[in-house]
Amino acid sequence: MTKQTIMIIGLGLIGSSLAVCIKKTHPVSFLYGWDNSKETSQTAQETKIVDQIPENFAKAAENSDIIVLAVPVQTAQHYLEELATLNLKKEVLITDTGSTKQKIVHTARSYKLNFIGGHPMAGSHKSGILACDANLFENAYYIFTPTKKEQTEQIQRLKELFSGTRAKYVLLKPKEHDEITAMLSHLPHIIASGLVNQADHFNQKYPRAKQLAAGGFRDITRIASSDPQMWTDILLSNRHTLLQMITQWQAKMDDISFWLETENAEQIYHFFANAKDMRDRLPVDKKGSIPAFYDLFVDVPDRPGSIAEITSLLGKTQISLTNIKILETREDIIGVLQLTFKNETDLIAAKTHIEKETDYHCRLQ
């Protein structure tokens, strides 16, 4: 790529990680960074994640060849409105990283901006610039949603710009993207949050339930810990699709209620059998629409020093742990020790090493 001036608006986890990937493969390009947080901007400047935090937003935008909106969907809408008032370069290309595409594509088109929607389907359960990770997008799907056939060359520009992510590129129509992500990401987040809210009310009647929820319930609802403002934006920007899917979900729950009332064991069995078959056939080596959890469950004996033995083994091989937890509630989980890693490579290496050096059984969940 020839020397270009790139501006990344929003230097949280996604924006800062993209900046690191760009600088790694395109060192000759100049990278502006812009964030509403003074602390984040200062960190970006001090760590050289970007080349410069400009004093004037408008001048930096007008000097840029590519502008990346790495901010929540609603915020990106406001930036598009502001960018439309500036004297941008004729060939400037604008993209975003938001989780929904139809609304922002429509907004950009209404302002006659040269825009291609983008969505790197990767994330972390840590946020902010301090969670910046050059490997965040590796083997993840990076979706682009062009609306014109003549945007082929511009898509190639973006693919080259983000080549350092080592992501897998996919082209979808904006509506197609929003319906897929609604089913695979947005609806699951609603259901997980609904379960947690229902459990919170239930805990007021049975306080001990909170203690017992530390096992399987906590794991299946982990995505409910996501940023509430971000998910408010996502739901509102994809509300028509989600309203349809929520109606379908409610109909399925009505079916289950009826089967319970009529004691229809055959239909209940089929419900679980079909779900198990579908779940077992899902790919395990791909990054999907919900950030993966790199957890290893280890069935260690109840004897002094067993946990220290495992952490010592991992330390000697320089495999970094991000979290370790002793499980008290282990329903549906084999293992008493839950080890969490930063990525799949460390996860697999840890499993291989523990099973090689000990007689402990390990299981990926």
With tokens 């919170």, the residue in question is: 200
Q: How far apart are the first and last CA of the chain?
A: 41
What percent of the chain is predicted at pLDDT more than 70?
91
What is the model's pLDDT at position 230?
Answer: 86
Structural domains in the chain plus CATH codes: 5-172 (3.40.50.720), 177-280 (1.10.3660.10), 294-364 (3.30.70.260)
**What is the reported pTM?**
0.77
Q: Which residues 6+ apart lie within 8 Å of 111 measured at CB?
A: 80, 81, 83, 84
Q: What per-residue confidence (pLDDT) applies to 289? A: 53
Work out whether strand 141-145 and strand 115-120 pair parallel, antiparallel, or are unpaired.
antiparallel
Question: Which residues of the chain carry a pLDDT beneath 50?
Answer: 329-335
Q: What is the predicted pLDDT for the residue at 334?
A: 45
Return the pLDDT at 1: 54
For residues 29 and 6, the answer to whether their CB atoms sit within 8 Å is: yes
Alpha carbons 58 and 69: distance in angstroms, whole number: 14
Partnered with residue 339 across adjacent β-strands are 296, 324
Q: Where are the alpha helices (DSSP H) in 262-330?
A: 265-280, 306-316
CA 266 to centroid of chain Cα atoms: 37
CB count within 10 Å of CB 220 equals 14
> Distance between CA 165 and CA 20 in Å, rounded?
9
Q: Tell me 52's DSSP state.
A: B
Question: Using one digit for the tens of pLDDT, what is the confidence trace for 137-192?
Answer: 888 899 999 998 878 999 999 999 999 999 999 999 999 999 999 999 999 999 99
Query: 94: closest CA among 121, 74, 73, 65?
Result: 65
**What pLDDT is stored for residue 290 in this prediction?**
56
The answer to whether 190 touches 242, Cβ cutoff 8 Å, is yes
